[in-house]
């Protein structure tokens, strides 16, 4: 069974540009979480999608947005990039909106903003 | 506001020296609490889920316990390969939040 896959693995952008990160959940998983892991800050909750709907978002500005597609894959968009957006962006999937087991993580997309 | 605090931030142990990691949380509508292990540059790897106070789970040298306000990850006779960052993540009714983790280093 394929795990959670994220692309790209690495992305380098300059300030003011836009970044798009993608996530494919494990087959059968309908819920996708996005987290930002900046150096020294731990995993910060960004967004939660389930069955195509945004269920909740963390304390991030509106320039962080995303969506979930009918096949349950998801996309995270970051507009007007700032230097402090440099981080590892982790996607995780889980079966259904109610927790019945583990959150499976991908290996992350490392975004560097110059 | 939901919060989770892990302590200590970092811990260095000799191989075979047992210890415990702490996770204190304030979460409304707690559904469960996860423990993860994260190696540098990789995504977190699932270890345990605990659902109710008093519950314990074990895996090799690790044992996780849960109370109403805290969870502990006990490491018995650790080996160098147990070196990693250990993350605690309580799940509330509307999100799963993570602590900053404890960086564990086991010296041979």
According to DSSP, the β-strands at A10-13 and A109-113 are parallel
**Which residues on chain A place their C-beta less than 8 Å from a C-beta of chain B?**
4, 33, 35, 40-45, 48, 55-56, 58, 88, 90, 92, 98-99, 101-108
Dmax over CA atoms of chain B, in Å, equals 42
d(CA A2, CA A100): 20
pLDDT for A101 equals: 59
Is the CB of residue B92 less than 8 Å away from at least one CB of chain A?
Answer: no
Provide, as residue numbers in chain A, all residues whose Cβ is less than 8 Å from the Cβ of B64. none
* Residue A57 · residue A67 · CB < 8 Å: no
Q: Is B39 near chain A, with CB under 8 Å?
A: no
Instruction: Provide the 10 A C-beta neighbour count for residue A62.
Output: 7
Q: What is the pLDDT of residue A98?
A: 57
- Tell me: the pLDDT tens digits for A51-105? 999 999 999 999 999 999 999 999 999 999 999 999 999 999 988 665 555 789 9
Tell me what pLDDT residue A86 has. Answer: 97
Contact across the interface for B101 and A42, Cβ inside 8 Å: yes
Q: Does B42 touch chain A (CB under 8 A)?
A: yes
Nearest residue on chain A to B34, judged by CA atoms? Answer: A102
> Under an 8 A CB cutoff, do B96 and A103 touch?
yes
**Interface with B, mutate which of A45, A50, A91, A106 (most B CBs under 10 A):** A45
Question: Which of the four pLDDT bands, split at 50, 70 and 90, describes residue B93?
Answer: confident
DSSP codes of every residue in B20-56: EEEEEEE-TT--EEEEEEE-TTS--EEEEEE-STT-E
- Helix, strand or coil for residue A95? coil
DSSP B80: G
Give the Cα-Cα-Cα angle A12, A30, A92 (nearest 5 degrees): 40
Question: What is the pLDDT confidence band of residue B37, given thresholds at 50, 70 and 90?
Answer: very high
| Interface contact flag, B89 A103, Cβ < 8 Å | yes
Residue B103 corresponds to which tokens in the numbers above? 């960086």
| A85 secondary structure, DSSP code | G
Q: Is the pLDDT of residue A1 over 70?
A: no
Give A40's contacts in chain B (Cβ within 8 Å).
100
pLDDT digits (tens, 9 = 90+) for A6-44: 999 999 999 999 999 999 999 989 999 999 999 877 899
Of A40, A42, A55, the CB nearest to B98: A42
pLDDT number for residue A96: 66
């Amino acid at each position: 069974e394929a795990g959670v896959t994220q692309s790209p693995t690495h992305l380098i952008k300059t300030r003011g540009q836009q970044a798009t990160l993608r996530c494919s959940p494990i087959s059968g998983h309908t819920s996708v979480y996005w987290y930002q892991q900046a150096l020294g800050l731990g995993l910060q909750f960004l967004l939660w999608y389930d069955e195509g709907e945004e269920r909740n978002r963390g304390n991030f500005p509106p320039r962080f947005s995303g969506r979930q597609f009918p096949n349950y894959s998801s996309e995270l968009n970051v507009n007007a990039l700032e230097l402090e957006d440099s981080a590892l962006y982790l996607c995780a999937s889980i079966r259904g909106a109610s927790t019945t087991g583990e959150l499976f993580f991908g290996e992350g997309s490392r975004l560097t903003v110059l | 506001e939901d919060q989770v605090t892990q302590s200590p931030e970092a811990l260095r142990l000799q191989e075979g020296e047992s210890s415990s990691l702490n996770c204190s949380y304030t979460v409304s509508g707690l559904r469960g609490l996860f423990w993860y292990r994260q190696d540098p540059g990789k995504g977190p790897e699932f270890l345990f889920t605990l659902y109710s106070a008093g519950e314990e789970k074990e895996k090799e040298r690790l044992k996780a316990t849960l109370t109403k306000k805290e969870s502990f990850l006990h490491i018995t006779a650790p080996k160098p390969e147990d070196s990693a960052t250990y993350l605690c993540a309580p799940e509330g009714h509307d999100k799963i939040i993570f602590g900053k983790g404890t960086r564990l280093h086991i010296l041979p």
